[in-house]
Structure 1
Amino acid sequence: MTSLRFYLSACVAVLCLVSSAAIAENSVQNQVVDPLGLHDNDAVLAAAVPGPGRQETADSAAPAASQSVPEPAVEPSAKTRIKSIEPSVAAPETTATTETSDPLAGRDAFDRGVFRSFLKKAPRLEGDETKEAVIDFYRGRRHESLWTKGKGLSVQGEALIKQVRSAPDHGLKQEDYLPHAYLTRNGGLSDWPAQHEVELDLTLAYLALADDLASGAVDPMSTGSEIYLQPKHLSVEDLLERLDEAKSIPALMASFAPKDPAYAKLQEKLKHYRQLAARKSYTHVPSGKTLRKGDVDARVPALKRRLSEEGFYKGSLDDTDQHYDGDVVEAVKAFQRANGLSADGVAGRNTFTTLNISLEQRVRQIEANLERLRWYDYQATGSFVDVNIADQTLKVVRNGLTIHQTRVVVGKPKYKTPIFSHAISYAEVNPTWTIPRSIALKTYLPMLQRDPTEVMRRGIRVFHGNREIDPRSIIWSTVKPRFFNFTLQQRPGRNNALGGVKYMFPNRHAIYLHDTPSKHLFSRSGRAFSHGCIRVENPFDFGDLLFKDEGWDKDRLMKLRSKSSNPQRINLSNKVPVHLRYFTAFVDAADTVQFRFDIYGNDARLIEALETRSAPFS
């Protein structure tokens, strides 16, 4: 599918180069070398079909499977033929094609022989994995058109173009799928290619849009570091098979989009923010001193206008009132909550910086997060753990409902928490902490060089190979980082960096969920403080939900924690999926769109990737 997108971007150039005369010449040449007569006119082709009363023209519907014309034995067997595809809505939704209104009117009727030869030589299919699948698909149809009928578009073709026009509803660009003339339908006849080219263009548009909706438009791993999500593209064969089985083009395309309710909610917010951005009423609020309740400041009228633009403030916009109190303070609190800031009503630097993010940028941010949702398959049943790194929260979701939510601490920008999915398999109460080499070199080697007894007071043991050594026996000042051949391990205890419990999903990144003795960090609005692992605010409440069915509720886990000082492992009979994800825009339970600071700088790269992934049609 990747190379398909590159071929689509060259579509206009190809369309302009192909002339009707060249097509006619190609048809004549193919008739000479085709011993089966498959390039003759439709009457000859229909005559080859066995069975009484067989009548068919280029405008007729696809024949039933039992009436298919046998292909030469040297070619692969044909796939199941396309069933009749009905529009999903009443007639007003699809524009009827007529000789006077359709730009295709007046073109030569579709010629199956020309189309068969064209598919084998089409530049946009050459060298692409799509080629054989598309050829096989149309062979199963006896090379009848799907998207065109007679001298115009079929109902299916009209419906598909309408779906392409709705690509912006998903944060995608319609111009990435079809040339401008197809989308506007108001160009002259010279803007339209030959019928067989229209047919292929629409097939490729279907494949590209369907795959983008189902799997995402860009490779996740190309949009930032520490992202480990493999593209889940559907095969061309699968996409064509689903087209083969479909009864409605709109319903088929809707089936590719994410089923996660968060997707439809975010689509609604995209529509809303586009409307806000279109008003061109964005108000800039000058920065300056911090505003506190009771202050009088000349910026207050601008602040009220800015808050009103997103619906946070609904009071008077009297420019003479410069008092910062009452409804204005409450509106600032609501704005702060919706942007992951401390909701204290104090308008300081972070609040003003966030207020001055343009509405156009918010639109692009929502589009980027719709793309992120397309990277995942939605799990409607069972339980899973969902960590939003950008929001710094953890949720336990069961049968589509959030049954537990808590704050977490995630990796600093220098030590990004990686984005990936796995499954929790066990917990360890009173864990030891084997200190990662990077942390040992940066934090503990200098400590050992200053005072080896300091690591001893912290309960840290030093190993050389499998042998524990006394840290005072080493002259640490002579140990260089590249020759640091020691392992550091912290004993269980109150000062252990992992706290009282850790939840393991063994992975190559050495990332897991765990308790922490640094509870004060959970009160911060921004909680990117770790070296990559995820610290959980209420780890035993979380464990209760995961392990209760194993006979380990919160009380029993905490008793085990206090009764023993040794590590105790508890296995899960059924592993629980865990997703470490990154969403900077989402809709909460109160139907308020929530924006979060892009702590790892991933938004800008994703927005650029969506914008530049292919050259738009002109």
Structure 2
Amino acid sequence: MSGPLSAPYVQAQTAAPATSETQVVPPPVFEEPQTPIARAIQAQVSTNLPEGLALYYGERAFAPVWFNENGLTEDAHLTIAAMAAANDHALNPNNYDPLGFIKRSETSQSEQEWAQFDLDLSVQFLRYATHLSSGRVQPNKVNKALNVFPDRPDPKMLFENAEQAVDFGAFLESLAPQTDNYARLKRRLAQYREKAAAGGFTQVPDGEVLKPGMSDPRLEVLRTRLMEEDIIVAGDHTGDVYDGALVEAVKLFQEYHGLETDGVIGKATIAQLNIPIQEKLIQMELNMERRRWMPDDPGQFYVFVNLADQNLKVVRDGKTIHTARVVVGKPYHATPVFSDRLEYVEINPYWNVPYSIATKEYLPKLKQNPTALSNKSIRIFQEGNEVAPTQVAWNSYSGGNFPFRLRQDPGEDNALGRIKFMFPNQFNIYIHDTPSKSLFTRAERAFSHGCIRVSDPFALADVLLVDSDATPGKWEAIRDSGERTVVKTKVEIDVHLTYLTAWMNKDGSTHFRKDIYDRDKVLLEALRRAMTENL
């Protein structure tokens, strides 16, 4: 950041009185402002200014940041231009008032006006940098299920780094997430905005269910609609029979929207085809915000679960090495968003029944029949001792008065299946097997109480425990033995539970998912409220 530099502040030389418990740190003493403009800035630095920003001004003896004797600096012009182009990043330029700064730069005359201009531009630059690097809203304040706490820029460090930047334009670009995922979605957002400006997406009329091999007068409209979303090109399919390339294009569309990929055009596919492009633009903008919450470096070896997509992938050294379908929490048992680290894998696990399930689901059954859980291999404990279910007066207990612990033994019917992947956390959420295999064939898979059930979990174990010197089939052999076994991981494996409803893959495909937990709706409302709020 160009402009006059000042000497660093001088700390007071006399130590403050100390107590036996604390050492009082004296406040910094700054150089006296050397120019009328600097004195005007000093006079207008208020308690409302972020602390780090006020300290930064003090360290430079309150010299202006954004202009000198020749007028606005190049950095100021670049900053105002970046704020004016904030819409490229799904941010609203009006939040930063770039046009107002241009006008003020042309009309300001007094030292007081220029001082206020400089301070205001600094505040708006901090706001823009914060929004661009870590999001317009703080996730956990928007939704307690979002346990994500992105690092917001330290004001003093931000301005010092800006001042030292050799290429200020490159520095401004570096404020955005430096990930391919973010860059791809940003690029696709711009392309969809062009499509919207050109008229958006053609509506496909309702009609009977269209299956491969059938004829239908809507085929021309269908071809046009799929071309608009870059899934098929002109000439790939002709004629009045729904077959060949058009069926394959519909299957791709279904895949990109989380539908059954059967090529059959029923109500669900028609509904997705007819979602207005403006809604898709909003969905992409919301997910640009979510990408800003995420770290640029998710780790060298990590598990990535997209709850909205209901899929899991394992990434090592930047390459996806395993994918799997998962079942996630029901909407009223929504799986939270958070990150943790895998610590161990347990084969043939016990299932310690959560208190809420024990009291809300199993206690009513026990009241009707004390032996109701015996065929599920669920045993009952009180103060560490097993008790016989027939010896308990179950009608005497309720959800607020339940001193028992329920535990299911390992086995085929265990609710956790035969293996679980543990990353201990405050939510008691983990990844595990399940005896209910049929659910993985469904397009929508939100059926659990919050934990994540994974298809083919022993294939996942082979990938995650690859550094455990295991011979092929070792984990399955332990499973078949029935012996409860804990295997600790030997390398760091991060686990990221995320919620993304729009993204663009490396192959150029653009994906949208149903907002199963209404988190898009909540985030959109929060962003609209933030339009008028300060940092």
CA contact (8 A) 2:84 2:99 kept: no
What is the Cα deviation at residue 407 of structure 1?
1.1
Is 1:359 aligned to 2:311, yes or no? Answer: no
**CA-to-partner distance for each residue in 1:474-522, whole Å, 9 max, x for gaps?**
3445543333332211000111111111111111111111111111111
Could you say which residue in structure 1 is the equivalent of 2:512?
595
CA contact (8 A) 1:167 1:174 kept: yes
What is the Cα deviation at residue 301 of structure 1?
3.7
CA contact (8 A) 2:251 2:262 kept: yes
Could you say which residue in structure 2 is the equivalent of 1:455?
373
- In structure 1, distance between residues paired with 2:27 and 2:353: 62
Of the candidates 100, 112, 116, which is equivalent to residue 39 of structure 2? 116
| Fraction of identical pairs, as percent | 37
Could you say which residue in structure 1 is the equivalent of 2:28?
76
- In structure 2, distance between residues paired with 1:134 and 1:188: 25
Secondary structure of residue in 1 paired with 2:379: strand
CA contact (8 A) 1:216 1:374 kept: yes
Could you say which residue in structure 1 is the equivalent of 2:48?
127
Could you say which residue in structure 1 is the equivalent of 2:524?
607
CA contact (8 A) 2:150 2:294 kept: no
Please tell me the residue identity of whatever aligns with 1:306.
R
Please tell me the residue identity of whatever aligns with 1:464.
Q
Of the candidates 220, 243, 246, which is equivalent to residue 139 of structure 2? 220
Secondary structure of residue in 1 paired with 2:459: helix
Please tell me the residue identity of whatever aligns with 1:418.
P
Could you say which residue in structure 1 is the equivalent of 2:71?
152
Residues 384 and 281 from structure 1, CA distance in 2 versus in 1: closer, same or farther, beyond 3 angstroms?
Answer: closer
CA contact (8 A) 2:201 2:276 kept: yes
- In structure 1, distance between residues paired with 2:298 and 2:356: 39
Secondary structure of residue in 1 paired with 2:400: helix
Could you say which residue in structure 1 is the equivalent of 2:432?
514
Secondary structure of residue in 2 paired with 1:497: coil
Secondary structure of residue in 1 paired with 2:264: coil
Is 1:280 aligned to 2:232, yes or no? Answer: no
CA contact (8 A) 2:468 2:490 kept: yes
Of the candidates 89, 113, 127, which is equivalent to residue 194 of structure 1? 113
**CA-to-partner distance for each residue in 1:322-357, whole Å, 9 max, x for gaps?**
643344322221211111111111111211221121
**CA-to-partner distance for each residue in 1:46-81, whole Å, 9 max, x for gaps?**
xxxxxxxxxxxxxx952575xx898998972569xx
TM-score, with length taken from structure 2 = 0.89
- In structure 1, distance between residues paired with 2:477 and 2:30: 66
- In structure 1, distance between residues paired with 2:54 and 2:464: 50
**CA-to-partner distance for each residue in 1:258-310, whole Å, 9 max, x for gaps?**
12211111111111111111112332233343221233444444333322221
- In structure 2, distance between residues paired with 1:592 and 1:71: 57
Could you say which residue in structure 2 is the equivalent of 1:314?
233
Could you say which residue in structure 2 is the equivalent of 1:89?
none
Could you say which residue in structure 2 is the equivalent of 1:239?
158
Residues 616 and 174 from structure 1, CA distance in 2 versus in 1: closer, same or farther, beyond 3 angstroms?
Answer: farther
Could you say which residue in structure 1 is the equivalent of 2:327?
409
Is 1:332 aligned to 2:253, yes or no? Answer: no
Secondary structure of residue in 1 paired with 2:188: helix
Secondary structure of residue in 2 paired with 1:594: strand
- In structure 1, distance between residues paired with 2:101 and 2:380: 70
Of the candidates 45, 56, 62, which is equivalent to residue 143 of structure 1? 62
- In structure 2, distance between residues paired with 1:133 and 1:226: 31
Please tell me the residue identity of whatever aligns with 1:141.
R
Of the candidates 373, 382, 388, which is equivalent to residue 470 of structure 1? 388
Please tell me the residue identity of whatever aligns with 1:499.
G
TM-score, with length taken from structure 1 = 0.77
- In structure 2, distance between residues paired with 1:419 and 1:222: 13
Residues 187 and 233 from structure 1, CA distance in 2 versus in 1: closer, same or farther, beyond 3 angstroms?
Answer: closer
Residues 482 and 121 from structure 1, CA distance in 2 versus in 1: closer, same or farther, beyond 3 angstroms?
Answer: same
- In structure 2, distance between residues paired with 1:133 and 1:222: 23
Of the candidates 62, 70, 82, which is equivalent to residue 4 of structure 2? 62
- In structure 2, distance between residues paired with 1:369 and 1:282: 21
Instruction: Please list, as runs of the form range in 1=range in 2, the aligned pairs for 1:414-425 lying within 5 A after superposition.
Output: 414-425=332-343
CA contact (8 A) 1:138 1:144 kept: yes
CA contact (8 A) 2:12 2:29 kept: no
Of the candidates 473, 485, 496, which is equivalent to residue 579 of structure 1? 496
- In structure 2, distance between residues paired with 1:446 and 1:469: 18
Please tell me the residue identity of whatever aligns with 1:364.
I
- In structure 1, distance between residues paired with 2:42 and 2:133: 26
Residues 511 and 61 from structure 1, CA distance in 2 versus in 1: closer, same or farther, beyond 3 angstroms?
Answer: closer
Secondary structure of residue in 2 paired with 1:550: coil
Residues 451 and 315 from structure 1, CA distance in 2 versus in 1: closer, same or farther, beyond 3 angstroms?
Answer: farther
Of the candidates 333, 344, 348, which is equivalent to residue 426 of structure 1? 344
Of the candidates 178, 182, 189, which is equivalent to residue 259 of structure 1? 178
RMSD, matched Cα:
3.0
Could you say which residue in structure 2 is the equivalent of 1:483?
401
What is the Cα deviation at residue 256 of structure 1?
2.1
What is the Cα deviation at residue 380 of structure 1?
6.4
CA contact (8 A) 1:423 1:578 kept: yes
CA contact (8 A) 2:504 2:510 kept: yes
Count of aligned pairs between the two proteins = 519
CA contact (8 A) 1:541 1:554 kept: no
Could you say which residue in structure 1 is the equivalent of 2:123?
204
Secondary structure of residue in 2 paired with 1:290: coil
User: Which 5+ residue runs of structure 2 have no aligned equivalent?
Assistant: 14-25
Please tell me the residue identity of whatever aligns with 2:115.
H
Secondary structure of residue in 1 paired with 2:488: strand
- In structure 2, distance between residues paired with 1:589 and 1:467: 55
Please tell me the residue identity of whatever aligns with 1:146.
V
CA contact (8 A) 1:389 1:583 kept: yes
Bigger Rg, which one? 1
- In structure 2, distance between residues paired with 1:515 and 1:589: 30
Secondary structure of residue in 2 paired with 1:483: coil
Of the candidates 517, 528, 533, which is equivalent to residue 446 of structure 2? 528
Could you say which residue in structure 2 is the equivalent of 1:341?
259
Residues 146 and 171 from structure 1, CA distance in 2 versus in 1: closer, same or farther, beyond 3 angstroms?
Answer: same
Secondary structure of residue in 2 paired with 1:549: coil
Residues 566 and 341 from structure 1, CA distance in 2 versus in 1: closer, same or farther, beyond 3 angstroms?
Answer: same
Could you say which residue in structure 1 is the equivalent of 2:22?
none
Of the candidates 479, 482, 487, which is equivalent to residue 561 of structure 1? 479
- In structure 1, distance between residues paired with 2:34 and 2:100: 22
Could you say which residue in structure 1 is the equivalent of 2:86?
167
Please tell me the residue identity of whatever aligns with 1:289.
E
Residues 135 and 466 from structure 1, CA distance in 2 versus in 1: closer, same or farther, beyond 3 angstroms?
Answer: closer
